[in-house]
Amino acid sequence: MTEQVYTEAEIELRLAAELPHWFYEKGWIRRKIKTSGWKASLMVVNTVGHLAEKAWHHPDLTVSYAFVIVKLVTHSAKGITEKDFALAKKIEEVVMWDAAETSQGIFEGTPNDPRFKYIKKDN
């Protein structure tokens, strides 16, 4: 099955509309997730790893003390395909989920205390 490879212009439009914290660079869509430290970076890596394995679509990761960079491309298609957008959306949804903002009181979310905040929100 041949997968549609998006042009750079199409990728830029989709990212702006659907994934504003992701950007296109050197053939990859990419996102830097800022964390509070090493344990938080490992939690992000494990979450992304689980999602990627379930999707059977594996990103390149750069892991550092206070950030994780996720890079996606469909190697078999030699470009950005719907698989990349779909996995990026799922990563965004799960990693950046904040129960206090979206759960309508069911979950209280991480306390508003720097000791417990492990994902740093983008502005």
Q: How does 23-37 read in b/e, with b if 16+ C-beta sit within 10 Å?
A: ebeeebbbbebebbe
Give the pLDDT of residue 1: 61
In this predicted structure, the answer to whether residue 123 has a pLDDT above a threshold of 80 is no
8 DSSP assignment: H
Ordered by start, the domain boundaries in the chain are: 8-120
What span, in angstroms and rounded, lies between the C-alpha atoms of 64 and 105?
33
Total-model pTM: 0.92
CB neighbours (10 Å) of residue 87? 23
Specify the 3-state DSSP secondary structure of 111.
coil
CATH architecture of 8-120: 2-Layer Sandwich (3.30)
> For residue range 68-105, what is the model confidence (pLDDT) as tens digits?
999 999 999 999 999 999 999 999 999 999 888 876 77
